[in-house]
């Protein structure tokens, strides 16, 4: 099988881990989930999912749980009708929870706003009325390019209310990345803001939209939230202020029920080619799994818990575990605008203390950053309200897991290591707090109702103790329904590798330990994971070769103690390595160029100028060897190289400092 290169050390560390942490009897006694759920779901999967769907309000009940006859295009809760926004907002108001705070919004400069469910209903209704006035209707696409402001949530729910699809584009993406996403989805409206606060300073955002919309024929309006009050350029043909258009709208809007399979959103994610994939999610199945997993995995008690997911709304974690899951469950949650070290490195713990956060969900890279900052920082705050800690985005190393448990969780809070993907829409593999005996570093068990397998290259199960490729062997309610506008790519990317078996290929390596617990081992394809964000090597390579000075580029993800992987690029310059362009300023210019093309998150950590790249006889770049160089390891087997001396030249070149 194709082992994720360079993961072997991690693998050894992980598999020598044998500490276990059984749930406390007190926690188990009050837990939402029970061990019986596994048996019930195994006995009758569809009946189990039916019960989960009953968490929602359906205007029309479904007549069939799953229609898989047109696989790999699934239909869940066939014939059912619901309004997703009604489920996330109005029904809580109608059932008497209107005064419950839905969102404790905390601005980076220290301003804050508590929004009750009743207020959320008014804000979402106004936003829906405004979008309707701008011509948005069922099936239309709206691009949302906003930082962590309440208006981002209002906008997403307003789209859902109207049956329009949102396409949220992470605020850290460049104007070029925004433009290609707007054009691929043919968005009618773009919602953005003047600027955002980052590390205490206002940073412009609308300028990126101005640049993007010079070549987006589908865009008819740009709706602009005022956040920083900084000057912005104004395009009177397109632009409208949020406060001019939304504020004057009626606070009432009647939601319409849409088909269970009505599209809800598109979210772009990196694949193995340069072009991001528009992952398509629909309504009933997605919301069912979002609500179920959020309740079971975080043990949410909506009346008493305060939940906080630190992800950005621009990623799927923000979609499912800030907007849809928590709000469908009537949770009270914190949304924080800024960075964890503004004004100082205690900001997250200050927020936990201020709001009494009880459920906290973050990424391993953030935990490792906190570790670097030191345990004395969280020690200065009262974190006793925390009762469940979550992790997502990459494998969590046992050291970080133990630190998280000790220094944040007071040595008692269960940790849930949740494995899932943009494509899966919701959590698939995770311990259940109060049920699972936890193991540091292992995501452990597919959730009740979810089925996975670890297989070899032929699709045969490897069994206990074996390693291989992670596949999802049965459809699940929140699964992607396709890639926007590209059915062929959908089949090819996820379903062609094990076509005869009908497995979904996740792109991750995984291993079972002797107890049958799952350990995720990272990507087996050319996708990097930097701070829990997916970036494709080809995307960064295309950005590099689009620069005048670059003839050829190869990019690898090298292990990084904080970010999981760091981007390391090898470039051949047009003038050759002796060219003055290989100097530090030229390299700095290339890093900036990548940030401009894709976004700052894609900036290579390191760029090495080389004379040749290692290629097989068929011309495929052998990234494995470059990763050896990037990670300062002895170089592996070079026998399949077209020219086996290339690696010597690269190593020699690096030693001379070029």
Which residues of the chain form contacts with ligand WT7 (CB under 6 A)?
269, 316-317, 392-395, 417-422, 443, 506-508, 520, 523, 529, 532, 534
Q: Residue 639: how many CB atoms within 10 A of its CB?
A: 6
Least CB distance to ligand WT7 at residue 532 (A): 6
CA–CA distance, 378 with 245 (Å, rounded to integer): 43
Least CB distance to ligand WT7 at residue 509 (A): 9
DSSP reduced 3-state for 67: strand
Q: Is 446 annotated as a binding-site member?
A: no
Q: Which is nearer to ligand WT7, 269 or 358 (CB)?
A: 269
Q: Is 545 annotated as a binding-site member?
A: yes
CA–CA distance, 519 with 470 (Å, rounded to integer): 10
Decide the pairing of beta strands 81-82 and 258-259. antiparallel
Q: Which is nearer to ligand WT7, 309 or 646 (CB)?
A: 309
Contact 224, 241 (CB under 8 A): yes
Query: Among the residues of 356-486, which ranges form H helices?
Result: 364-373, 398-403
Radius of gyration, alpha carbons of the chain:
24
Please state, in angstroms and as integers, the Cα–Cα distance from residue 113 to each residue in 102, 321, 333, 351, following that order. 11, 20, 12, 13
Least CB distance to ligand WT7 at residue 438 (A): 13
Q: Which is nearer to ligand WT7, 260 or 422 (CB)?
A: 422
Q: Which is nearer to ligand WT7, 23 or 395 (CB)?
A: 395
Least CB distance to ligand WT7 at residue 316 (A): 5
CA–CA distance, 226 with 169 (Å, rounded to integer): 18
Q: Which is nearer to ligand WT7, 155 or 422 (CB)?
A: 422
Contact 467, 12 (CB under 8 A): no
Least CB distance to ligand WT7 at residue 530 (A): 10
Straight-line distance from the first to the last Cα atom of the chain, in angstroms, rounded to the nearest whole number = 36
Q: Name, in order, each residue with C-beta under 8 angstroms of 576's C-beta and a sequence gap of 6 or more.
A: 611
> With b meaning 16 or more CB within 10 Å and e meaning fewer, what string describes 319-358?
bbbbbbbbbbbbbbbbbbbbebbbeebbbbbebbbebbbb
Size of the chain in residues: 658
Q: Is 8 annotated as a binding-site member?
A: no
Least CB distance to ligand WT7 at residue 154 (A): 23
Q: Is 198 annotated as a binding-site member?
A: yes
Nearest to 163 by CA among 186, 138, 133, 187: 138
Least CB distance to ligand WT7 at residue 211 (A): 26
Nearest to 418 by CA among 392, 398, 381: 392
Q: Which is nearer to ligand WT7, 125 or 529 (CB)?
A: 529
Beta bridge partners of 550: 573
φ, ψ for residue 371, nearest 5 deg? -60, -40
Nearest to 125 by CA among 222, 256, 283, 250: 250
CA–CA distance, 93 with 128 (Å, rounded to integer): 18
Least CB distance to ligand WT7 at residue 644 (A): 32
Q: Which is nearer to ligand WT7, 520 or 647 (CB)?
A: 520
Least CB distance to ligand WT7 at residue 309 (A): 11
Listing from the earlier edge strand, what are the strands of the sheet with 306-309? 112-116, 101-106, 332-336, 306-309, 359-362, 388-392, 415-418
Q: Is 534 annotated as a binding-site member?
A: yes
Least CB distance to ligand WT7 at residue 419 (A): 4
Specify the DSSP class assigned to residue 577: T
Q: Is 199 annotated as a binding-site member?
A: yes
DSSP reduced 3-state for 363: coil
Q: Is 419 annotated as a binding-site member?
A: yes
**Look-up of token digits 């133990």:** 402
Q: Which is nearer to ligand WT7, 83 or 269 (CB)?
A: 269
Q: Which is nearer to ligand WT7, 516 or 583 (CB)?
A: 516
C-alpha 153: how far from chain center: 16
Q: Is 417 annotated as a binding-site member?
A: yes
Q: Which is nearer to ligand WT7, 357 or 392 (CB)?
A: 392
Q: Which residues are annotated as a binding site for ATP?
A: 393-395, 417-422, 508, 523, 534
Q: Which residues are annotated as a binding site for CoA?
A: 198-201, 317, 341, 531
Q: Which residues are annotated as a binding site?
A: 198-201, 317, 341, 393-395, 417-422, 508, 523, 531, 534, 545, 547, 550
Q: Which residues are annotated as a binding site for Mg(2+)?
A: 545, 547, 550
């Amino acid at each position: 099988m194709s082992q994720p290169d360079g993961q072997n050390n991690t693998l050894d560390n992980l598999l020598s881990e044998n500490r276990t942490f059984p749930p406390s009897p007190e926690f188990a006694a009050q837990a939402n989930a029970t061990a019986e759920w596994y048996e019930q779901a195994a006995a009758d999967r569809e009946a189990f999912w039916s019960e989960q769907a009953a968490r929602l309000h359906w205007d029309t009940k479904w007549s069939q749980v799953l229609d898989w006859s047109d696989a790999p295009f699934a239909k869940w809760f066939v014939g059912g009708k619901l309004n997703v926004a009604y489920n996330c907002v109005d029904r809580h108001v109608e059932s008497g929870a209107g005064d419950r705070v839905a969102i404790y919004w905390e601005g980076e400069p220290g301003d804050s706003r508590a929004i009750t469910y009743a207020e959320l209903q008014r804000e979402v209704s106004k936003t829906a009325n405004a979008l309707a006035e701008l011509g948005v209707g069922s099936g239309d696409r709206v691009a949302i390019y906003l930082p962590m402001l309440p208006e981002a949530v209002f906008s997403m729910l307003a789209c859902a209310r109207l049956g329009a699809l949102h396409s949220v584009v992470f605020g850290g993406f460049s104007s070029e990345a925004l433009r290609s996403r707007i054009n691929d989805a043919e968005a009618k409206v773009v919602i953005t803001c003047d600027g955002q606060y980052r590390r205490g300073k206002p940073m412009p955002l609308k300028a990126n939209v101005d640049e993007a919309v010079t070549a987006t024929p589908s865009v008819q309006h740009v709706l602009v939230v005022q956040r920083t009050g900084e000057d912005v350029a104004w395009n009177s043909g397109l632009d409208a202020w949020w406060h001019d258009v939304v504020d004057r709208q009626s606070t009432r809007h009647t939601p319409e029920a849409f088909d269970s399979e009505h599209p809800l959103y598109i979210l772009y994610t990196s694949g193995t080619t340069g072009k991001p994939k528009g992952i398509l999610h629909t309504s009933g199945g997605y919301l069912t799994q979002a609500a179920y997993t959020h309740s079971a995995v975080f043990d949410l008690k909506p009346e008493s818990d305060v939940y906080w997911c630190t992800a950005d709304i621009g990623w799927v974690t923000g979609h499912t575990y800030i907007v849809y899951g928590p709000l469908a469950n009537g949770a009270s949650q914190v949304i924080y605008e800024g960075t964890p070290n503004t004004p100082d490195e205690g900001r997250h713990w200050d927020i936990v203390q201020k709001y009494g956060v009880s459920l906290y969900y973050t990424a391993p890279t953030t935990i490792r950053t906190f570790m670097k900052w030191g345990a004395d920082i969280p020690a200065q705050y009262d974190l006793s309200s925390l009762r469940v800690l979550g992790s997502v985005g990459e494998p969590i190393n046992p050291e970080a897991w133990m630190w998280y448990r000790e220094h944040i969780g007071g040595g008692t809070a269960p940790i849930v290591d949740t494995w899932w993907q943009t494509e899966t829409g919701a959590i698939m593999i995770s311990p259940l707090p109060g049920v699972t005996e936890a193991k540091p570093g292992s995501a452990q068990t597919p959730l009740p109702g979810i089925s996975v397998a670890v297989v070899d290259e032929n699709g045969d199960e490897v069994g206990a103790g074996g390693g291989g490729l992670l596949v999802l062997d049965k459809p699940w309610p929140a699964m992607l329904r396709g890639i926007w506008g590209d059915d062929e790519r959908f089949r090819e990317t996820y379903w062609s590798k094990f076509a005869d078996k009908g497995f979904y290929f996740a792109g991750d390596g995984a291993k079972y330990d002797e107890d049958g617990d799952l350990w995720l081992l990272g990507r087996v394809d050319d996708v990097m994971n930097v701070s829990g964000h997916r970036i494709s090597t080809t995307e960064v390579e295309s950005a590099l070769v689009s620069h005048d000075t670059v003839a050829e580029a190869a990019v690898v993800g090298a292990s990084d103690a904080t970010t999981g992987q760091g981007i390391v690029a090898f470039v051949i310059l047009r003038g050759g390595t002796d060219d003055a362009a290989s100097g530090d300023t030229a390299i700095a210019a290339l890093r900036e160029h990548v940030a401009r093309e894709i976004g700052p998150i894609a900036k290579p950590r390191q760029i090495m100028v080389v004379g040749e790249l290692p290629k097989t006889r068929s011309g495929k770049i052998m990234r494995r060897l470059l990763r050896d160089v990037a990670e300062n390891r002895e170089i592996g087997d070079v026998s399949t190289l077209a020219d086996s001396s290339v690696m010597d030249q690269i190593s020699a070149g690096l030693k001379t400092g070029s």
